[in-house]
Structure 1
Amino acid sequence: MQMNEAMEQRRKPTVLEQAGGTKGLVYSALPVVAFVVANSLGGLRTAVVVAGLVAVAITVNRLLRRESVQPALGGLVGVVIAAGFTWYTGSAKDYFLLGIWASLAGAVVFVLSVLVKWPLAGVIWNGATGKGTAWRADRSSRRYFNVATLTLAAIFGARFVVQKYLYDNDEVGSLGAAKIVMGYPLLAVGLLVVAWAAKASDKRLRAAGLLPARKN
């Protein structure tokens, strides 16, 4: 029993779990779907109200089920800001504007982190797992995390290019679909590359004695 518990504690979360799990994927999509459908049926004000209510309902549901509310709260704040901005401008497509420019900012930050030789994929992963900055002492490890960071930059850049094109052409329905498809599913691809980089880096660092050997 103790061995099973220890194995469970050591088990790393899957890519899907890191992206919020199946529920996280559904929850992230619901406010967007609600906004697009409500906008087509009842107009902008109805869409703003419905999207906000859906986000609040998701947060309350997670609270009642004693699930982690951090993803839901983050989504709620995002929906509130987007809905408020949309209400202010009076344009349905502006619901997606904050996310569009945030994608561009993310792409730029990821690229800059590689240029200054502190690839964010490595910084975030090793910081979160308590491994510090030992990976930066190994050139191959830095190269692995450069690849992972540039993959994330490409994902954020693709989000910006596609969604900005749809925004400029007033394609509200297509914007909603693009936001969903290019959200967690694409992020999961990026996390796969980050996981590959981390595994390859750990192997290098253990061989060099910069990380303790793995316990059996």
Structure 2
Amino acid sequence: MDPAAAEAARRAASKEAADTVLQAFGGVRGMIDMTLPGLVFIVTYNVTHQVSAAAWAALGLSALFVVARLARRETIQHAFSGVFGVALGAWIAMKSGKAEDFYLPGLLWNVGYCIALAASALARWPMIGVMLGPITGEMFTWRKENPGRLAAYTKATWAWVVIMGLKPVILFPLYLTHNVNLLGWLKVALGIPPLLLAMYVTWQILLKAPPPIKAPVDDEEEPAK
């Protein structure tokens, strides 16, 4: 293969691997599943001024997302994780009677997620690589056989730490002031845009990374008849 063709093939393989980023995070539908219940909560709370009504409305929408995915035989991973978070936030808010507590589990999860991302990068097991490896077919070959991709996954993971870390930095002070309206609207506003930015930055990093080395697949022998 001539150098130009080899370079074109390398770029195509890198782009194909980079394009898995959106898939790994549930696509646009997954982001909607995670964002709309928070919007429904704050709208319902402003209309009814009742924590329980707002909590049940958000929980009902999350459950509806799960049912819709099941009916279409789609993966419920992101919808189910969303309904779990909404259910926990709804339970805490109804127990305390404080509307702002609906957002507390999400804020704590975001802090824990950023800590886990940072720890994985420091341990040379960057979480972005762990998540994307099975999707790209490389599994964990990037750790020992492809140092360029290890570096790219590490860089992408640190990018997620910085971008996603901005959310709790902005939202936790609002939570402590008990300003439910501002907290709720900002939580919705900071739902999808930072996620899209983090995915775009990851996509750009992986476009310039070496293509993945596919993990070997053992061919299973057919049993003797």
Q: TM-score by structure 1 length?
A: 0.78
The 8 Å contact of residues 175 and 183 in structure 2, kept in 1 or not, is answered as yes
Aligned to 1:170: 178
1:38 alignment partner AA: T
The aligned amino acid for 2:185 is A
The equivalent residue for 2:47 is 41
Larger RCO (CA within 8 A; separation ≥ 6): 2
Summarize deviations over 1:151-201 as a string: whole Å, max 9, x none. Answer: 111122111111102111212222222322322332222222333333433
Contact 1:19 1:187 in 2 (8 A): no
Unpaired runs of at least 5, structure 2: 1-15, 216-225
1:60-99 CA-to-partner distances (Å, cap 9, x unmatched) read 2333344433322221111111101111121110101111
Counterpart CA distance in 1 for 2:30 and 2:214 is 33
TM (norm. structure 2) is: 0.75
Work out the CA distance in 2 between the residues paired with 1:132 and 1:15: 15
Give the superposed CA RMSD: 2.5
- CA offsets, 1:109-137, max 9 Å, x none? 11122222222212221133331332223
2:148–2:210 contact (8 Å) kept in structure 1: no
- 2:22 and 2:199 in contact (8 A); partners too: no
1:57 to 47, 58, 64: 64
Q: Percent identity?
A: 27
Aligned position for 1:6 = none
Conserved? CA contact 1:19–1:184, under 8 Å? no
Q: Does 1:188 align with 2:158?
A: no
Structure-2 separation of matches of 1:87 and 1:117: 41
Give 1:4's aligned residue.
Answer: none
Check conservation: 2:118, 2:161, Cα contact below 8 A: yes
1:153-168 matches, cutoff 5 A: 153-168=161-176
> Among residues 69, 83, 86, which one is paired with 1:76 in the alignment?
83
Q: 3-state SS of the aligned residue for 1:202? A: coil
> Is the CA contact 1:92–1:172 (under 8 Å) kept in the aligned structure 2?
yes
- Equivalent residue pairs, number: 197
Q: Which residue of 2 aligns with 1:98?
A: 105
Distance 1:117 1:193, change over 3 A: same
SS at match of 1:201: coil
**Residues of 2 paired with 1:66 and 1:132: CA distance?**
26
Query: 2: CA distance between counterparts of 1:143 and 1:88?
Result: 46
The corresponding residue for 2:119 is 112
Check the 8 A contact 1:141/1:200 in 2, yes or no: no
